[in-house]
Amino acid sequence: MKVDQTARISKEAKIAQNVEIGPYCVIEKNVEIKNGTQISAYTHIKGKTTVGENNLIHSGCVIGEKPQMLGLKEDVGKLVIGDNNIIREYVTIHTSTKEEASTLIGNNNYLMGFSHIAHDCSLSNNITLSHGSLIAGHVEIQDNATISGNASIHQFVRIGRLSMIGGLTRVTRDIPPFMMCIGSSKIWGINLVGLKRAKITSEEIREIKKAYNILYRERMPIKKSIEKLEKINSPKIQEIALFIKNSKRGISSANRSTIFEKIFLDYPFLLRQEIESKRIFKKIDF
């Protein structure tokens, strides 16, 4: 174990032999840190927290703090972090609200600077939380999801596998697997780039597009849409249908913009190009 002389580690903490702990870190009792984890300067780990193997925790993180809840008097919750996670500067992760539960972080996740994970959340594996993303309590994020910068996820929301949440997005309802959510909890299409990167086959992508059209283009009642999805022999479509059936908050709706929003917001975003206002409004003096 390599520990800087300025670090403060409780005698009751369980620290594996090949853990590295940087300057001015504080490791409190009830904390367990397993093999190969590196902790940079000024990080504070507390509560009933277990940190798995080969994690890289950068400067200034606060991990295992008790939930930010009015009226919560006892710090009885737990936090369990898996293996091979990268946790960047000033990330905050809270324990659960009850002793029998845990806030869970899986394996191979990348949590960028200043992102926040509240109490009782469950993050699976290979998830990216971009800079400043905010995850409220009891949120579930499934494998390979991407949460872009400064996105905010409402409590109890579920984010499906291989979905994409755009920057500055406010998510208030569940996001089905493979979908792309932008703006005020609106589905703009499927996460095509993410699906290709994950080596999802062309045939499977066509099936996912078919499910998207049934859900968001045909404008049927959700119950009818699920029934139609369940009749299709496709594992990906069945995954989407099962996710929606298990939704308690309901799923996010489709983006349907006015003609003016399409001209000035949607089309420039989708085409990834800038529209020079002087070409449109030549005679307007801004």
The CATH number assigned to the domain holding 31 equals: 2.160.10.10
Residue 105 lies in a domain: yes
Q: Confidence band (pLDDT; 50, 70, 90) for 286? A: very low
d(C-alpha 155, C-alpha 25), whole Å: 31
Residue 111 lies in a domain: yes
Domain range for 130: 2-201
pLDDT at 71: 86
User: Residue 135 is inside which H or E element, if any?
Assistant: strand 134-135
Q: How far apart are the first and last CA of the chain?
A: 63
Instruction: Say yes or no to pLDDT of 103 above 90.
Output: yes
Strand partners, 189: 180
Domains in the chain: how many in total? Answer: 1
pTM of this prediction?
A: 0.90
Instruction: Say yes or no to pLDDT of 97 above 90.
Output: yes
Q: Confidence band (pLDDT; 50, 70, 90) for 258? A: low
Q: Could you say which of 52, 137, 166, 194 is catalytic? A: 137
Residue 221 lies in a domain: no
Residue 218 lies in a domain: no
Instruction: Say yes or no to pLDDT of 266 above 60.
Output: no
Residue 188 lies in a domain: yes
pLDDT, averaged across the chain = 92
Q: Confidence band (pLDDT; 50, 70, 90) for 136? A: very high
Ranges 65-69, 140-144, 164-168, 252-256: which has the least confidence: 252-256
Residue 239 lies in a domain: no
* Nearest residue to 253 via CA among 224, 217, 284: 217
Q: Could you say which of 119, 132, 138, 174 is catalytic? A: 119
**189 counts as catalytic:** no
d(C-alpha 5, C-alpha 109), whole Å: 30
pLDDT at 277: 45
**138 counts as catalytic:** no
Q: Confidence band (pLDDT; 50, 70, 90) for 32? A: very high
**What tokens does 164 get?**
């994409």
| CB contact at 8 A, 143 and 161 | yes
Residue 285 lies in a domain: no
Residue 46 lies in a domain: yes
pLDDT at 278: 46
CA angle 246, 252, 253 (to 5 degrees): 125
Q: Could you say which of 44, 64, 94, 120 is catalytic? A: 120
d(C-alpha 28, C-alpha 113), whole Å: 23
